Structure 1
């Protein structure tokens, strides 16, 4: 599988993410500090990894920043991306199963190497749901990708 990885720093597990994915047999493209230690703009590098997913240049992405929140927000701004901030294996499995998440966001502040491994295990072991309700929700998300920024809230 082709996976793009982005991080705004080399703190915590940042350097381990790409290495662990390669150990698992994936082809990794790196953005941000994991490619160039001076490239530290979380919004830009996370969006770049997410764009790889949206264009089909990557099958999935893993984005990281200090809390994981900014990386997930930036990735979710890219149409077609469903990024999920996951702090544990159960959340990672649920994000894949019910949300068909295609970008994993993680925190560099809170994630240990063993927990990273468990989250990746759950992420890759879980397939998206085929349940009609879950598929309808994913289809609805796709319609939201095309709303103008000034659209009124949906009720």
Structure 2
């Protein structure tokens, strides 16, 4: 799987998880490490939306900032997940395509569990229809006259 990967700060955990992903056969693309959290979130999300990566993984201290920045990119659906069950649900029910993690709360072992669940998750087609119905609709104005 092609994964866009970013963290606002390189830590032993973010570095170890990146190495584990590579060793597991994933290709890390558009790696953004050490950039400001808004750039990390938006950059990784853009790589996913552009099709450069299938999913994204972003880290910041709380995970909230990178998730919010990622969600500013049209077509990105970032979810802050603190456990594997939440990651599974985010993929299945919400078609999340960017996983946000907290550097403060997430250990290397927990990150592996969460990312594993997220990467192997499959969106539910019925749920996708519900989400698609929430997308803003554009209306073209017909000329009056």
TM-score by length of 1: 0.82
Q: CA deviation at 1:101?
A: 0.6
Contact 2:8 2:33 in 1 (8 A): yes
Could you tell me how far apart the structure 1 residues matched to 2:95 and 2:33 are? 25
Q: How does 1:10-29 map to 2 (within 5 A)?
A: 10-11=10-11, 13-29=13-29
Q: CA deviation at 1:20?
A: 1.9
Q: CA deviation at 1:12?
A: 5.5
1:140–1:21 distance in 2 versus 1, CA, 3 Å: farther
RMSD between aligned residues: 1.7
1:31 equivalent in structure 2: 32
TM-score by length of 2: 0.87
Q: CA deviation at 1:93?
A: 0.3
Who wins on radius of gyration, i.e. which is larger? 2
Q: CA deviation at 1:54?
A: 0.8
Q: Is 1:137 matched up with 2:138?
A: no
Q: From 45, 50, 56, give the equivalent of 1:55.
A: 50
Could you tell me how far apart the structure 2 residues matched to 1:145 and 1:55 are? 21
Q: From 78, 95, 119, give the equivalent of 2:114.
A: 119
